[in-house]
Chains A and B, each alone.
Chain A
Amino acid sequence: MENPLKQFAIQTLIPIHVGGYDLSYTNSSLFMTVAFLLIVFLFFIGTSRKAVVPGRLQAAAEMLYEFTANMVEDNAGHGSAKYVPFVMSIFLLVLFGNLIGLVPFTFTYTSHIIVTLALALMIFVVVVLLSLKNHGLGFFKMFFPAGAPIFLAPLLIPIEVLSFVFRPISLSVRLFANMMAGHVMLQLFAGFTIALGLFGVLPLTFVVLLTGFEILVALLQAYVFALLTSIYLKDTLEAH
């Protein structure tokens, strides 16, 4: 059986080397471009004819927007409307990456930790900088829960700092590991289908069910990524 991790190999399509850095256009970049074009197509065509009774594309674009806007409003609280474009860009990039990856012979760019970690670190830096800008030094108060007894400080502060620093790691590892585990599982069961001959019908049925489950996971993980982003952005708005 083939190595199930082979499907995640990055292939260089157009080699570009600038000053010792490898900036090649790879299959990962190709599918990011595809996702970008699909998103732009959906929203450009969807909102070009602003009908009162929306057509299919317009309804899809409106639903995606309302969904994100409600999520940010519910979780980041008052004054968070300015974050909707940021959260929505991240949500759509992750969502389309996850969903495109489920089409056979494509590449899932969200299954690479470098992609998800870059997104998560960007969110982390945005949250830290905006918190420092909005709260000043009051930002550091979030590392000590209000109302806790002062003698617990030596215990609580390291824990809070650690959990804050681990945010980008858990955010990125969750997405990348979900995608990777799902695709590895699909490939393993597809491999059983060929190896078992006639009895391969059983794993084949399972692969069909798993594909449905993977669609759910793809939607859920994109949702969770955006949900946690809006929860982290709440820290930039509310004083502690």
Chain B
Amino acid sequence: MDAASAKLIGAGLAVIGMGVVGIGLGLIFNAWLHALGRNPSAAPVLRQMGFLGFALTEALALFAFVLAILILLNVL
């Protein structure tokens, strides 16, 4: 296998992380909706924590994305 195709495969492997983060985000919103349904009056606190969890999880997907872009653009 030459270096160019290995690079493409590597970029593809790097973005698998985004799919896994998708599962994680699904779990966060699942828990968020469950909590909201059980106790709607806790909405302000839940909103803050929910967005925080969303942002922290999403960052990992973006790390994977940036890594793939860096591999494709021959920076790494």
Contacts and interface: CB of A to CB of B under 8 A. Distances in A.
A177 B65 contact: yes
Contacts of A231: 52
A224 B52 contact: yes
Given A74-B48, A227-B48, A174 B55 contact: yes
* Chain B at the A interface: SS class: helix
A173 B52 contact: no
A173 B51 contact: no
A75 B45 CA distance: 11
Nearest to A5: B73
Contact of B51 (A5, A178, A227): A227
A231 B52 CA distance: 10
Contacts of B52: 224, 227-228, 231
* Chain A at the B interface: SS class: helix
Given A177-B66, A181-B65, A170 B48 contact: no
A194 interface: no
Contacts of A74: 48
A224 B52 CA distance: 7
A224 B62 CA distance: 15
Interface residues of A, number: 16
A173 B67 CA distance: 11
Interface in A56-107: 74-75
A43 interface: no
A81 to B, nearest CB: 19
Nearest to B51: A224
Nearest to A217: B58
Interface string B1-44: 00000000000000000000000000000000000000000000
Nearest to A223: B51
